[in-house]
Structure 1
Amino acid sequence: MKKITTTTLILASFFAFGQQKNKSQAHSFSTKDKTVAVYTTAEGTNLKLSKTDTFSFSEMIQPKETQICVFVNPDKTFQSFLGIGGAITDASAEVFAKLSNDKQQEFLNAYYSQDKGIGYTLMRTTIHSSDFSSGSYTYIEEGDTTLKSFTIEHDRKYRIPLIKKALTTAGKEMTLYASPWSPPAFMKSNKGMLKGGTLLPEFSQYWAIYYTKFIKAYEKAGIPIWGITVQNEPMAVQKWESCVFSAEAERDFLKNYLGPTMKKEGLGDKKIIVWDHNRDLMLQRANIIFSDPEAAKYAWGIGFHWYETWAGGNPMFENVAKVNEAFPNKNLLFTEGCIEKFDAKNYQLWTNGERYGSAMIHDFNNGTVGWTDWNILLDENGGPNHVGNFCFAPIHADTKTGELIYTPSYYYIGHFSKFIRPEAKRVSTAVSRSSLLSTSFLNKDGKMVTVVMNQSDTTVIYNLCVGTQATEITILPNAIQTLVY
C-alpha cells in the first residue's frame, strides 16, 4: 500500500510539474510577428517622447564584439512593478489652484493620463506640513494629548481637491502613501517641529494613533491610503520640519507602537515603509529593523532617497542591490528625489533629466518596485517653501503668465511611467557598452518595454537582442528611448 501511494504521489507530482511547465511555456514571451515601436527624447532636438521608428526582428545567432547590443532575456524575471509617480504637497496644490481651468486640465492630463500624458500610477503626500507648505501646521491643537481636536480641514482647501482630481484623471485608484516630517511640537524633545529633535517616549502611543487618524480621515474624504512611511529622513536635522530616529528607535517605535496600533485600529493591511532617507545608510537601517522578527513583520519594505550626493560623492546605487540581496522578502521603494537648488536659468538643463534616467534604470535593475518623484508642481521661484528650500519639479507654473514649463526631467520620467504599468515584471537586461544603460519590464498585456539611455555625446547604433532575434536601432547623443514590442 505504501509503495502504491508513493508511486501515485510521484506520478501526481510529475503531472503537476508538467502542467506548470506547459503553463509557463504557454505564457512565454516571443518576438514572432512583433514589431518594435521606438519613442525618443533627445537633447538639441524637438523629439520629446516622440515615436520615431518601427522595426522588425530578424535572426542574429551570435553578435560580434564590434556590435553594440542590449540583451533581453524574457525567461528571467524579477520584481513586480508597483508604479511611478510624484508627491502632491501643499506647495504643488497651492500652485495648481492659481492656474486657469484650461491649464489645470492640461496639467492633470500631463501627469495622470496615459494617452495624453505620462500615466502616473503612484502618489505620495504628507501627514500635515513639510517644508513645501506655506507654513508649519498640524491636525490638532498644540498640547492636545487626547487628539480629540484632530481634523484635516486644512487640507480640504488645496491638497485634497488636487488629489481627487488626479485620481479622477487617472481613471482608477492610485497607489497613495503618506509620510510625516515631524510630530507636533509638544511631542518632541526640542519642543519645535523644525530643526530635528526626537519623539519623546511618553508620546509614542499618541503619535502612533495620529497616523491611524490621518488614514481614516483621508479615506472618509474619499481618498484611499495604501500605506505610510514611519518618518521622512529620520537621520537629518533640517531647518524645516524634521525628527530624528536612530535605527533602534525606529525599530522599537514600529514594533511596540505603530505596527500594533495600525493592526488594532483595523489598518493592518496598510503597508508600512521604514527609513525613507538616502541610499548611504539604508543597509544599516535594514539590518537593524529587518533582523528583528517582531519589527520586521510590520514592515512591507524600505524607502530611500537620492540625496546622498550632498557629501560630494556619486549616487550609491549598489546599496540598493545590497539591501535587496540581504532581505529579498522586503520591498524597495524610491520615495523621494528632486533637483535641488532652484535656478530658473536651468529649467532646460539636460543633465537634470539624465539624472532621473540614470537613477531610475539603476534602481529598477537593483530590485526597486516603484519610484516616486518629489513635488509634481512648483512655481517660478521653486516654491512655495516656508524655509526657502527652493527646488525643481518636472513641471513648473509661472504664476505671473499662467504658463506651464515642462523640464527634461518630465520627459525622462515619462519614458518609464507612460509605458511600464503596474504588475509588470522586470526582465533580465544587459548592455555590451558602458555608454548605454537599459532596463526592461514585461507588462501584463504581453507587451515588452525596454528603456535605453545613451549617456554619451555621440550617436550609437545598437542591436536589441531577444534570444536569437534582433533589430538594429540608432539612438542620438544624450538621448533616451523606450522600445515597445
Structure 2
Amino acid sequence: MSTAPISWIVTTTDAAWQQHEPATTSPITGMPDVFVGVDDPRQSIEGFGASFNELGWTALELLDDDAREGVLRSFFEPDAGLDLTLCRMPLGANDFSRDWYSYDEVDGDLALEHFSIDNDRATLIPFIRAAKRYQPELRLWASPWSPPSWMKTNGHYAGAQPRLDQSVKNGLRDDQVGHEGTDMFRLDDDHLAAYAAYFGRFIDAYAAEGIEIGMVMPQNEFNSAQVFPSCTWTPEGLARFIGHLAPEMGRRDVDVFLGTLERPNPDLVQFVVNDPVAGPALSGVGAQWAGKGALAVIHHDNPALRIYQTEQECGDGLNDWRYARYAWTIMKQFFSNGASAYMYWNMALLEGGVSRWGWAQNSLVVVDPETRTVRYTHEYHLLRHVSGAVAVGARVLPTVSYTGFENQLAFVNPDGSIVLVAHNDLGHEQSVSYLLGDRFFEAVLPADSFSTFVIPAV
C-alpha cells in the first residue's frame, strides 16, 4: 500500500488556497465514511472553462499590463491557477456585450455580402489571443444569443421588454414580444440556409485570425425571450435548422451540439435527437441553469451523447461566499449526471457586475474602476479547487457514503492520481474518512471549507 503523502489544499471564507499539512494513508480503523469507486470510472473530462465576453475584456483593459497579464496567467497558464482549456464565446452580441450587434445587420442580405466580424477586433479577438499566449491549445466553442434581427419574425434582437422598474431600454414594441414555445426565427429555407452560412462565415473569419472554433450550438437558452439578445425556438424549428447547419459545419470539421437547454425538460432534447436528419448530426448537448434538472434522463436515454455544462448560474454581482457554496452544488449535480465539461460564465467584470441591460452578475475576478485594481472572488478559488487539479482526460469516479457524507467529487487523472474535492458545509470542523480501493485516509475538514486532496498514483 502506498504511503506517499496526500496533498491537501483548503479554502475558507477568510483564507483562500491554503496548503494544509499533508494527509497520509493508514490501515483501516473502522467503517469508512466515503467509498470512492476507483474500479468504476465514469465519463471523461474534456476540460474546464469560462466565456469570453466583451465586458470582460473592457474590464481587464483598465488594469496595467502587469496586472492584466497576471490575471490571464492565473486563468490559462498550466499549473498557475485555473488551467482553463475549453472556453465559450458568443457568436455576435450577448447580454455582456457592449451593446447589440450582429455580423450582418443589412436587411434581406441573404447572400451575406455585408458580413463582417470587425466589431470583435476591439474586444473578443484580442481577449482570445491574449488567452492563447498562455494556453496555446485552448479549445473554443460558440453560440449565438440572437440571429441578425432581420432573420427574426419580430425584426428585433430582443424578445422581452424591460420591467417598469428597469432604467435600461431596448426599444421593443408590444407586438414584437416573443414567447416560449414559438419560433422567433423565420423558418423558410432561404433564411435557414442563410443563417447556416452565417455560422460558416463566422468560423472562416475567425480561422483567418488564427482562432479555431471547434464546436457550435444553435442558440443560447432557446426557450427564453429576454430583454437582451435572445431568440426562442421550438424543438421542431431547431431540428429544421440543424438540418441546414450540420452540412456547413461538417465541411469545416466543426461539431454541432444541441443547446443551450435551460429548462428541466428532457423531451426538448429528445425530440431533436430522434429527428432522422438532425439527430445523427449531433455530437452532444449543452445545458445550463434549470437544464440541470433534465440531465439524469438525457444521460440515461442517450449515454453516447456528450454533455457540457455551458454556463454556471450567474449570481447577483455580490460575489459572496453564499454563492460560492451554491456554485458547488451546481458543479456536483452536473458531474454526477454525466457532464464532461464545465464552464463558468463571466471571467472579469467591473465592481457590481452590471451588464448593458442592467443585470448584475458575478465573475471570477472583479476590477475596481476607480483604483484600477483586481481581486479574485470566492468562485475563482472554488473553481480552482477542481479545475486546477483535474486534468483533461480525467474520469469521474462515483462515491457513496453509508454515514451520510455525500459532499464530495472524485476524479482519476490520466497519470493515475486521484483528486478528491470535499465541502464541509457545517459551522464546525468535521472528521471524514475515505476508502479508495485498498487505501484509507482520514481528514478533519475545517468548518465551512472546501478541500482538495490529490492522492498519488499507486
State the TM-score, normalized to the length of structure 2.
Answer: 0.90
Instruction: Say whether residues 1:359 and 2:319 are aligned partners.
Output: no
Instruction: Please name the residue that 1:338 is paired with.
Output: 313
2:63 to 96, 99, 105: 99
Q: How far apart are residue 230 of structure 1 and its match?
A: 0.9
Contact 1:194 1:240 in 2 (8 A): yes
1:286 to 262, 269, 278: 269
Q: How far apart are residue 435 of structure 1 and its match?
A: 4.9
Cα distance in 1 for residues equivalent to 2:150 and 2:204: 23
Q: How far apart are residue 318 of structure 1 and its match?
A: 5.1
Cα distance in 2 for residues equivalent to 1:96 and 1:137: 21
Q: What do residues 265-318 of structure 1 show as CA deviations (whole Å, max 9, x unaligned)?
A: x22x3121112032512x112211112242111111111112x3xxxxxxx755
After superposition, residues 376-387 of structure 1 pair within 5 angstroms as 376-383=347-354, 385-387=355-357
Question: Residues 253 and 317 (structure 1 numbering): CA distance in 2 closer, same or farther, change over 3 Å?
Answer: closer
Cα distance in 2 for residues equivalent to 1:213 and 1:82: 26
Cα distance in 1 for residues equivalent to 2:137 and 2:76: 11
Q: How far apart are residue 434 of structure 1 and its match?
A: 4.1
Unaligned runs of 5+ in 1: 1-30, 309-315
Contact 2:106 2:114 in 1 (8 A): no
Moved more, 272-281 or 128-137: 272-281
Contact 1:279 1:320 in 2 (8 A): no
Question: Residues 466 and 381 (structure 1 numbering): CA distance in 2 closer, same or farther, change over 3 Å?
Answer: closer
2:301 to 320, 326, 330: 326
Instruction: Please name the residue that 2:192 is paired with.
Output: 204
Question: Residues 436 and 480 (structure 1 numbering): CA distance in 2 closer, same or farther, change over 3 Å?
Answer: farther
After superposition, residues 242-257 of structure 1 pair within 5 angstroms as 242-254=230-242, 256-257=243-244
Unaligned runs of 5+ in 2: 160-177
Instruction: Say whether residues 1:234 and 2:222 are aligned partners.
Output: yes
RMSD of aligned residue pairs (Cα, Å): 1.7
Cα distance in 1 for residues equivalent to 2:314 and 2:130: 26
Q: Which structure's residues are more often helix, by fraction?
A: 1
The DSSP-based 3-state class of the residue aligned with 2:23 is: strand
1:459 to 414, 417, 429: 429
Question: Residues 436 and 456 (structure 1 numbering): CA distance in 2 closer, same or farther, change over 3 Å?
Answer: farther
Work out the number of aligned pairs and report it.
430
Q: How far apart are residue 116 of structure 1 and its match?
A: 2.5
1:438 to 384, 408, 416: 408
Instruction: Say whether residues 1:426 and 2:396 are aligned partners.
Output: yes
The DSSP-based 3-state class of the residue aligned with 1:360 is: helix
Contact 1:275 1:285 in 2 (8 A): no
Instruction: Please name the residue that 2:165 is paired with.
Output: none
Cα distance in 1 for residues equivalent to 2:368 and 2:375: 7
1:137 to 101, 124, 134: 101
Instruction: Say whether residues 1:469 and 2:444 are aligned partners.
Output: no
Instruction: Please name the residue that 1:273 is paired with.
Output: 257
Cα distance in 2 for residues equivalent to 1:460 and 1:293: 53
1:260 to 247, 252, 260: 247
Residue identity opposite 2:20 in structure 1: T
The DSSP-based 3-state class of the residue aligned with 1:55 is: coil
Contact 2:288 2:313 in 1 (8 A): no
Q: What do residues 212-257 of structure 1 show as CA deviations (whole Å, max 9, x unaligned)?
A: 1111111110111110111001100101111111111112211x21
Moved more, 412-421 or 110-119: 110-119
Instruction: Please name the residue that 1:166 is paired with.
Output: 131
Instruction: Please name the residue that 1:74 is paired with.
Output: 38
Cα distance in 2 for residues equivalent to 1:156 and 1:276: 26
Contact 1:225 1:270 in 2 (8 A): yes
Cα distance in 1 for residues equivalent to 2:295 and 2:21: 34
Cα distance in 2 for residues equivalent to 1:104 and 1:441: 32
Instruction: Please name the residue that 1:23 is paired with.
Output: none
2:285 to 297, 302, 317: 302
Q: How far apart are residue 356 of structure 1 and its match?
A: 1.6
Q: What do residues 302-361 of structure 1 show as CA deviations (whole Å, max 9, x unaligned)?
A: 11112x3xxxxxxx755312211111010110001233333xxx33x2111111212112
The DSSP-based 3-state class of the residue aligned with 1:74 is: coil
Q: How far apart are residue 455 of structure 1 and its match?
A: 2.1
Percent sequence identity is 26
Cα distance in 2 for residues equivalent to 1:257 and 1:436: 45
Cα distance in 2 for residues equivalent to 1:228 and 1:456: 41
Cα distance in 2 for residues equivalent to 1:452 and 1:431: 13
Q: What do residues 16-39 of structure 1 show as CA deviations (whole Å, max 9, x unaligned)?
A: xxxxxxxxxxxxxxx624321111
Instruction: Please name the residue that 2:450 is paired with.
Output: 480
The DSSP-based 3-state class of the residue aligned with 1:125 is: strand
The DSSP-based 3-state class of the residue aligned with 2:39 is: strand
Contact 1:431 1:437 in 2 (8 A): no
Cα distance in 2 for residues equivalent to 1:365 and 1:334: 12
